């Protein structure tokens, strides 16, 4: 089995994986970072979204070996020094989650969209959520949470 | 004094772990030494298994074991069961075929379980499954409910001739026939209620474990009701006695009904754990969820309404064929019967109703409860035909409904239900205002100037939830009681642990239940912990479904009554006052008319010290439990109004406004209730516009087997909803609450389709209103007009 | 996924050699179609040759009336490129609606056109704009490149390195997405170029194709009305759960009409 090494949530990590091991399974099974979820097998639900080199990607549609040397951030790495990331806080404040299963992917997608797009409006937020499915909320409060976080941080999100 | 905690939009206690990636779902659980399972499934809709040769798979490196139905049968275990007996109109019991956990000699749908392959890793198990040689003799299949009973249809279970499980009836047949004879006007409508695939975002999963030292099993599973799973696995399947089987349903990523049922995979993983002496873990891939989660709906119905000369409904008759799939899932029989026929009166005063339902087997995945379960199907036919009647009689839809509303309570319908309270005019009025109904014609005209077809649709719905008085459901065939339990343990320092049988998988019980406790005891919500989902800690519970949280909350409320009563007795001794003089207010036990008092936590400590009261009269400690059996269903009701715009060039339907006014009685947490409504409406809109579980009628293959073909509503498919509430407190529980989880999914589909048919100017239209179907309907209308 | 060997060459030469030495190898670009295909066990390559570490494959150049995009350029880079937005806004818009944001961060132009999914978006732009496809061994005209469902003129082991898009006078792409997958059920790219009008249709048939009747009509009058009454024959179009061939044929006309309107601004 080939070895793979990368930086996950600021920590250097490595492990032996099969070449066919997906990044999401490396995170969940080798590193036991189970916050990143698998909700489908056709790359559509977005429960597995993480950031690779600062960009949102679907960890179920990337081999672990492809992430060799990459900087990976998962939902577990978002809060800093015990302080929730503004998007995390907004999801709680605006009831942007119910069962919580899609939430990590939603939050990682939201952080990425806020970084990329200044002045997010509701229509754009809904379009940008095309790759994230939620079955509980009807999306209304997810959209509200993202909008609030975007307005609050005004493009200052690192 | 701050605002009362009951009724406040308290932010959820459970959120922190979910937003930080620390939720603990079944697939997040890893047990030492665990092996991984893959289920080999039938590629055929219907076939005889001639032989299974697993020798090559068993010999593959890393494979632990392969088991088939023969292995399972050898251990003399039972099959999966359906726990609700339905009696046909001729008095015969329903005709259920066997439902083996692993197929023995026949497979009956694509995805049916053939073998379990257990290996060191999931990838190895899946690889090895390809080495299992199964020889099938294919048989003809039938997937459509309307074809299942025909003479030439293949027989799926020998026990059920013509694939007919039961032929059930409800209502007053003679009076209904008489009403039709006298009717001034009748309205007919045929509707199909499209098959849905639940798609909770967390796929089902199970980890089975056996401890030889204690001869005890543990099953971690994605369940809405772990105690019921344990009961069925123990009493009917025979895996282990209940006290040797612990079932844990940890964080569960949505259920919507699909995780009520006891499935083959969790049973087989638990059984296999002992065989292979290792924990056995299985997690569904989404494709497997599509194939093997119990689906929802799939009814074909013809209905007829009788009206007098004054546009009053005098009779209603309904004939439905319900598709139950290839096997009867855990509660499948109850869905198209007692959860369906009993709601056919809607919000209307209808003196005569008669309903007939044939339940049929087909070569499709089992069909069982899905958000609303029977009530959406009933509401759809009622609200569609009422709308059609208004159109035929050329009476405003709102006024026609108003003319027929039930206005005096309690109201006994001809179909069992006794409505206890409601104000249907209030919710209709409020919805009409929020939706700006009076200016709809102007909006329609403006849309027309842009080439768009605008339509409006109503749904004034009622549902029955809070399942349900145990004796009542027993008389209807239920194999279980539908009470709920609660245990309240007060710690010596005044913390409160509440053990509830109601499982939370998105509903926010950890918050709302804590609000009930904190509000009642006058203590900070942080001091309350809600424990659920583990048979080892919660005594027993019936679980969460059917918007029955009100039952669990009432059980807690009753346990709190006992806590308060005992604490008062202790406080009386400590304060050296007469018991009758002790009052409990704002978390303090006071001697009436004095300044002597004890805080709740002080009484808790005294209870555990046992120093200041006679322990021969009052036991030390402060822990009480209650089993609450509801005295009636709760009857949420309301009015949903949908406005659509259709692009006639493409057939795309856009929901431009959706208004929902619901009466859920008293509300514990408005934020959470709004979230439930929003999610329910999204699923209802999904059914109306997007979702459709489709089998190929020739091959019996599931055509919509992934998100490539099954349309899940996405954020940009859905609007923001305008929500409003009216309040008529529920008289049958002390909190005055009703269920709120299913209303959105029950009420919204007919509102949407009524709007679509209004926009298109057509009578019948089958869900989902996809662009292609709407476009085709427009072409048909045009062709007919030419 | 089945087992496979994985290689991450640093140069095109190395990639080519690896391909020659591995019986049934596949190149891996962004992987947004290939990995889902492998997950479904619909393909069983013996080796994956990841092109992600090869330098010089990515980038955008606009010069001399030509937009040149490296094959490894991600959809998101095309979508957000200021130069492309200026030169061929329709191309940037098209890229901005491929898949979803996460897919656009990984998926590449080269990967898309090498795969030639019948419902992919890029083939419509490549064909309508009359682009040329540069590979490790030659240059191929768009008209010769897309040969059938998931089939192209690429030889075994040949790798797309860049695509050159001539800047049109006007262009627009209109997509009617499949409601479930959001791939193009019908996508029509219209381009008014010095050489004439080109109309490419994706999603509707087994392979992207040019709609010549529309090109002729738009050549005479580049207006929505010119195509509004052109009826497309459904006989070679796809029909499925999401729409009949007749519906797709109708949508080709509607999307073409809307694309022309959009191109005219």
B 429-488 → A contacts, CB under 8 A? none
**Angle between helix B549-574 and B509-521 (nearest 10):** 30
Of C6, C52, C99, the CB nearest to A19: C6
Within B264-416, residue ranges assigned H as helices are 264-276, 286-292, 375-393, 397-404
- Range C89-93 average pLDDT: 98
Whether the per-residue pLDDT at B728 is higher than 50: the answer is yes
Question: CB–CB of B24/B202 below 8 Å?
Answer: no
Whether the per-residue pLDDT at A158 is higher than 60: the answer is no
Compute the distance between CA of residue C157 and CA of residue C3 in angstroms, rounded to an integer: 21
Does the distance separating the beta carbons of A57 and C8 come in below 8 Å? no
Task: Match 């319908």 to its residue by tokens.
Answer: B413
Compute the distance between CA of residue A69 and CA of residue A74 in angstroms, rounded to an integer: 16
Does the distance separating the beta carbons of A37 and B25 come in below 8 Å? yes
Q: Is the pTM of this model over 0.95?
A: yes
Q: Which of B502-506, B521-525, C139-143 has the lowest mean pLDDT?
A: B502-506
Does the distance separating the beta carbons of A88 and B287 come in below 8 Å? no
Whether the per-residue pLDDT at B565 is higher than 60: the answer is yes
Residue B561 Ramachandran class (φ > 0 left, ψ -120 to 50 alpha, else beta): alpha
Q: Is C222 on the interface with B (CB under 8 A)?
A: no
Q: How far does the CA of residue C32 sit from the closest CA of chain A (Å)?
A: 6
Select from B674, B637, B636, B643 the least CA-distant residue to B432. Answer: B643
Write out the two tokens for B587.
């978390």
DSSP character at residue B233: I
- Range B287-297 average pLDDT: 98
What values do phi and psi take at C178, rounded to 5?
-60, 130
Q: What is the pLDDT of residue B474?
A: 86
Give me the residues paired with residue B599 across strands.
B588
Question: CB–CB of B288/A47 below 8 Å?
Answer: no
Q: Which residues from chain B sit within 8 angstroms of residue A108, using beta carbons? A: none
Does the distance separating the beta carbons of C106 and A57 come in below 8 Å? yes
Secondary-structure breakdown of chain A: helix, strand, coil percentages, each rounded to the nearest 5: 40, 15, 45
Does the distance separating the beta carbons of C35 and A61 come in below 8 Å? yes
Which residues does B480 contact at the CB level (< 8 Å), separation at least 6?
Answer: B83, B228, B231, B473, B542
Select from B509, B443, B427, B502 the least CA-distant residue to B743. Answer: B427
Whether the per-residue pLDDT at B3 is higher than 80: the answer is no
Rg, chain C, Cα only: 18
Question: CB–CB of A4/A18 below 8 Å?
Answer: no
Q: What is the pLDDT of residue B748?
A: 98
Q: What is the pLDDT of residue B378?
A: 98
Does the distance separating the beta carbons of B506 and A99 come in below 8 Å? yes
Select from B485, B522, B610, B623 the least CA-distant residue to B563. Answer: B623
Task: Categorize the per-residue pLDDT at B480 as very low, low, confident or very high, splitting at 50, 70 and 90.
Answer: confident
- Range B360-364 average pLDDT: 98
Q: How far does the CA of residue B160 sit from the closest CA of chain A (Å)?
A: 36
Of B649, B703, B771, the CB nearest to C179: B771
Does the distance separating the beta carbons of B507 and A138 come in below 8 Å? no
Whether the per-residue pLDDT at A155 is higher than 80: the answer is no
Whether the per-residue pLDDT at A72 is higher than 60: the answer is yes
Burial of B31 by CB count in 10 Å (0-12 exposed, 13-18 middle, 19+ buried)?
middle
Compute the distance between CA of residue B732 and CA of residue B715 in angstroms, rounded to an integer: 38
Q: What is the pLDDT of residue B1?
A: 41
Task: Match 């290689």 to its residue by tokens.
Answer: C7
Whether the per-residue pLDDT at B98 is higher than 90: the answer is yes
Residues of A with CB under 8 A from a CB of C: 2, 18-20, 22, 41-44, 46, 49, 52, 55-58, 60-63, 65-66, 68, 109, 112-113, 116, 128, 130-132
Work out the mean pLDDT of chain A and round it to a whole number. Answer: 96
What is the percentage of chain B residues whose pLDDT exceeds 90? 93
Nearest CA in chain C to A129: C100
Q: How far does the CA of residue B756 sit from the closest CA of chain A (Å)?
A: 21
Q: Are strands B35-41 and A55-58 parallel, antiparallel or unpaired?
A: unpaired
Task: Categorize the per-residue pLDDT at C184 as very low, low, confident or very high, splitting at 50, 70 and 90.
Answer: very high
Q: Which residues from chain C sit within 8 angstroms of residue B693, using beta carbons? A: none
Q: Chain-centre distance of CA B305, in angstroms?
A: 29
Q: What is the pLDDT of residue B469?
A: 85
Select from B88, B94, B108 the least CA-distant residue to B155. Answer: B108
Q: What is the pLDDT of residue B4?
A: 87
- Range B293-321 average pLDDT: 98
Higher pLDDT, residue C236 or B545? C236
Does the distance separating the beta carbons of B704 and C176 come in below 8 Å? no
- Range B744-764 average pLDDT: 97
Distances (CA, A) of B756 to B401, B448, B652, B752: 19, 15, 11, 6
Chains that touch C (3 or more CB pairs under 8 A): A, B
What values do phi and psi take at B524, rounded to 5?
-65, 145
What is the percentage of chain C residues whose pLDDT exceeds 90? 98
**Angle between helix B600-609 and B549-574 (nearest 10):** 70
Write out the two tokens for B646.
């259709």
Of A36, A41, A103, the CB nearest to B19: A103
Nearest CA in chain C to B717: C179
State the SS3 of B415-470. CCCEECCCCHHHHHHHHHHHCCHHHHHHHHHHHHHCCCEEEEEEEEEECCECCCCH
- Range B504-525 average pLDDT: 94
pLDDT in tens, C207-252: 999 999 999 999 999 999 999 999 999 999 999 999 999 999 999 9
State the SS3 of chain C. CCCCEEECCCCHHHHHHHHHHCCCEEEECCCCCHHHHHHCCCCCCCEEEEHHHCCCCCCEEEECCEEEEECCCEHHHHHHCHHHHHHCHHHHHHHHCCCCHHHHHHCEHHHHHHHCCCCCCHHHHHHHCCCEEEECCCEEEHHHHEEECCEECCCCCCCEEEEEEECCCEEEEEEEECCCCCCEEEEEEEEEECCEEEEEEECCCCCCEECHHHHHHHHHCCCHHHHHCCCCCHHHCCCECCECHHHHHHHHHHHHHHHHHHHCC
Work out the mean pLDDT of chain B and round it to a whole number. Answer: 96
Q: Are strands C66-70 and C60-63 parallel, antiparallel or unpaired?
A: antiparallel
- Range C111-134 average pLDDT: 97
Compute the distance between CA of residue B72 and CA of residue B65 in angstroms, rounded to an integer: 13
Q: Is C254 on the interface with B (CB under 8 A)?
A: yes
Compute the distance between CA of residue B770 and CA of residue B575 in angstroms, rounded to an integer: 70
What is the percentage of chain B residues whose pLDDT exceeds 70? 100
Of B127, B694, B771, the CB nearest to C241: B694
Q: Which residues from chain A sit within 8 angstroms of residue B23, using beta carbons? A: 35, 100-101, 103
Which residues does B526 contact at the CB level (< 8 Å), separation at least 6?
Answer: none
Q: Are strands C5-7 and C47-50 parallel, antiparallel or unpaired?
A: parallel
Q: Is B404 on the interface with A (CB under 8 A)?
A: no
Does the distance separating the beta carbons of B772 and C181 come in below 8 Å? no
Chain C interface, best mutation among A16, A20, A50, A53, by max C CB count within 10 A: A20
Does the distance separating the beta carbons of A91 and B675 come in below 8 Å? no
Compute the distance between CA of residue B44 and CA of residue C160 in angstroms, rounded to an integer: 41
ipTM value > 0.85: yes
Q: Is C42 on the interface with B (CB under 8 A)?
A: no
Task: Categorize the per-residue pLDDT at B547 as very low, low, confident or very high, splitting at 50, 70 and 90.
Answer: confident
Of B253, B674, B713, the CB nearest to A99: B253
pLDDT in tens, B568-617: 999 999 999 999 999 999 899 999 999 999 999 999 999 999 999 999 99
Q: What is the pLDDT of residue A131?
A: 97
Burial of A55 by CB count in 10 Å (0-12 exposed, 13-18 middle, 19+ buried)?
middle
Question: CB–CB of B193/B297 below 8 Å?
Answer: yes
Work out the mean pLDDT of chain C and round it to a whole number. Answer: 97
Does the distance separating the beta carbons of B776 and C247 come in below 8 Å? yes
Whether the per-residue pLDDT at B515 is higher than 60: the answer is yes
Does the distance separating the beta carbons of A38 and B714 come in below 8 Å? no
Does the distance separating the beta carbons of B123 and C180 come in below 8 Å? no
Coil vs helix vs strand at B315: strand
């Amino acid at each position: 089995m080939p070895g793979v090494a990368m930086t996950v949530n600021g920590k250097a990590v490595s492990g032996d994986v099969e070449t066919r091991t997906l990044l999401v399974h490396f995170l969940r099974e080798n590193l036991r970072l189970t916050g990143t979820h698998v909700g489908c097998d056709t790359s559509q639900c977005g429960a597995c979204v993480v950031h690779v080199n600062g960009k949102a990607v679907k960890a179920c549609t990337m081999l672990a070996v492809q992430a060799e040397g990459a900087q990976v951030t998962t939902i577990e790495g978002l809060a800093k020094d015990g302080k929730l990331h503004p998007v995390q806080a907004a999801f709680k404040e605006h009831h942007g989650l119910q069962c919580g299963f899609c939430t990590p992917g939603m939050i990682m997608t939201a952080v990425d969209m806020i970084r990329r797009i200044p002045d997010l409006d509701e229509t754009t937020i809904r379009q940008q959520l095309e790759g994230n499915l939620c079955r509980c909320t009807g999306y209304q409060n997810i959209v509200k949470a993202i909008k609030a976080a975007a307005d609050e941080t005004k493009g200052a999100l690192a | 004094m701050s605002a009362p905690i009951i009724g406040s939009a308290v932010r959820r206690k459970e959120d922190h772990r979910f937003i930080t990636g620390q939720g603990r779902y079944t697939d997040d659980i890893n047990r030492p030494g665990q092996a991984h399972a893959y289920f080999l499934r039938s590629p055929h809709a219907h076939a005889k298994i001639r032989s299974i040769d697993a020798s090559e798979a068993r010999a593959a490196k890393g494979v632990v074991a392969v088991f088939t139905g023969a292995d399972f049968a050898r251990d003399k275990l039972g099959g999966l069961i359906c726990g609700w007996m339905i009696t046909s109109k001729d008095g015969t019991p329903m005709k259920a075929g066997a439902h083996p956990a692993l197929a023995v000699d026949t497979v009956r749908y694509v995805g049916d379980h053939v073998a379990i392959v257990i290996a060191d890793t999931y990838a190895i198990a899946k690889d090895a499954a390809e080495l299992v040689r199964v020889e099938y003799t294919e048989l003809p299949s039938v997937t459509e409910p309307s074809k299942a009973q025909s003479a030439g249809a293949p027989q799926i279970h020998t026990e059920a001739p013509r694939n007919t499980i039961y032929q059930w009836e409800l209502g007053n047949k003679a009076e209904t026939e008489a009403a039709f004879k006298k009717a001034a006007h009748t309205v007919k409508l045929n509707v199909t209620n499209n098959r849905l695939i639940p798609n909770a975002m967390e796929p089902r999963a199970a980890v089975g474990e056996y401890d030889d030292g204690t001869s005890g099993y543990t099953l971690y599973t994605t369940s809405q009701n772990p105690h019921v799973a344990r009961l069925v696995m123990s009493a009917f399947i025979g895996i282990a006695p209940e006290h040797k089987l612990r079932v844990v349903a940890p964080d569960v990523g949505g259920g919507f009904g699909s995780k009520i049922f006891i499935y083959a995979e969790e049973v087989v993983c638990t059984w296999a754990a002992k065989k292979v002496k290792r924990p056995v873990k299985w997690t569904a891939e989404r494709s497997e969820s599509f194939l093997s989660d119990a689906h929802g709906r799939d009814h074909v119905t013809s209905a007829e309404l009788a009206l007098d000369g004054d546009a009053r409904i005098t009779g209603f008759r309904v004939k439905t064929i319900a598709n139950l799939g290839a096997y009867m899932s855990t509660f499948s029989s109850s869905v198209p019967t007692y959860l369906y026929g009993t709601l056919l009166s809607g919000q209307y005063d209808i003196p005569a109703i008669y309903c007939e339902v044939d339940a049929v087997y087909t070569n499709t995945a089992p069909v069982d409860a899905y958000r609303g379960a029977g009530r959406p199907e009933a509401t759809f036919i009622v609200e569609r035909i009422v709308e059609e009647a208004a159109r035929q009689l050329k009476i405003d839809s709102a006024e026609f409904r108003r003319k027929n509303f039930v206005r005096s309570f309690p109201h006994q319908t001809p179909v069992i239900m006794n409505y206890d309270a409601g104000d249907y005019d209030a919710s209709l009025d409020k919805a009409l205002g929020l939706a700006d109904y009076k200016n709809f014609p102007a909006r329609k005209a403006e849309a027309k100037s842009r080439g768009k077809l605008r339509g409006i649709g109503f749904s004034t719905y009622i549902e029955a939830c809070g399942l349900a008085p145990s004796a009542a459901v027993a008389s209807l065939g239920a194999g279980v009681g539908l009470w709920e339990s609660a245990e309240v343990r007060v710690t010596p320092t005044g913390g409160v642990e509440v053990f509830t049988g109601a499982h939370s998988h998105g509903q926010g019980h950890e918050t709302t239940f804590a609000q009930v406790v904190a509000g009642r005891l006058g203590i900070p919500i942080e001091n309350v912990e809600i424990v659920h989902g583990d048979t080892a800690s919660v005594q027993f519970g019936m679980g969460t479904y059917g918007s029955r949280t009100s039952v669990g909350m009432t059980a807690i409320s009753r346990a709190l009554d006992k806590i308060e009563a005992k604490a008062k007795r202790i406080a009386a001794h400590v304060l050296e006052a007469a018991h009758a003089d002790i009052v409990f207010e704002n978390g303090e036990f006071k001697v009436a008319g004095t300044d002597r008092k004890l805080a709740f936590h002080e009484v808790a400590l005294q209870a555990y010290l046992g120093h200041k009261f006679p322990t021969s009269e009052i036991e030390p400690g402060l822990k009480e439990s209650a089993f609450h059996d509801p005295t009636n269903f709760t009857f949420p009701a309301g009015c949903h109004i949908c406005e659509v715009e259709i692009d006639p060039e493409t057939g795309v339907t856009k929901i431009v406004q959706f208004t929902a006014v619901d009466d859920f009685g008293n509300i514990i947490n408005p934020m959470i209730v709004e979230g439930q409504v929003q999610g329910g409406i999204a699923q209802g809109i999904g059914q109306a516009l997007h979702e459709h579980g489709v089998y190929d009628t020739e091959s019996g293959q599931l055509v919509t087997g992934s998100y490539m073909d099954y349309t899940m509503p996405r954020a940009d498919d859905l609007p923001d909803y305008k929500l409003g509430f009216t309040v008529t407190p529920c008289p049958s529980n002390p909190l005055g609450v009703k269920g709120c989880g299913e209303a959105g999914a029950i009420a919204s589909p007919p509102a949407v389709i009524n709007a679509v048919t209004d926009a298109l100017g057509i009578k019948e239209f089958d869900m989902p209103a996809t662009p292609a179907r709407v476009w085709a309907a427009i072409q048909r209308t045009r062709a007919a007009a030419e | 996924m089945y087992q496979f060997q994985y290689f991450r060459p640093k140069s095109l030469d190395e990639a080519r050699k690896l391909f020659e030495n591995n019986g049934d190898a596949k190149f891996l670009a962004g992987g947004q179609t290939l990995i889902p295909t492998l997950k479904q066990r619909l393909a069983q390559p013996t080796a994956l040759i990841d092109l992600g570490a090869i330098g010089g494959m990515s980038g955008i150049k606009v010069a001399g009336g030509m937009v040149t995009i490296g094959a490894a350029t991600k959809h998101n880079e095309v979508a957000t490129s200021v130069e492309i937005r200026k030169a061929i806004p329709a191309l940037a818009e098209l890229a901005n609606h491929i898949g979803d944001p996460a897919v656009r961060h990984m998926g590449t132009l080269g990967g898309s056109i090498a795969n030639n999914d019948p419902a992919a978006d890029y083939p419509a732009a490549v064909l309508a704009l009359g682009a040329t496809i540069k590979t490790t061994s030659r240059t191929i005209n768009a008209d010769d490149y897309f040969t059938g469902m998931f089939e192209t003129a690429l030889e075994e082991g040949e790798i797309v390195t860049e695509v050159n898009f001539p800047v049109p006078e006007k262009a627009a792409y209109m997509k009617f997405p499949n409601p479930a997958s959001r791939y193009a059920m019908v996508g029509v790219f219209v381009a008014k170029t010095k050489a004439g009008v080109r109309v490419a249709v994706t999603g509707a048939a087994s392979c992207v194709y040019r709609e010549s009747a529309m090109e002729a009509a738009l050549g005479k009058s580049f207006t929505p009305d010119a195509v509004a009454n052109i009826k497309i024959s459904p006989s070679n179009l796809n029909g499925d759960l999401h729409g009949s061939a007749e519906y797709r044929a109708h949508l080709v006309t509607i999307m073409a009409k809307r694309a022309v309107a959009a191109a005219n601004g």
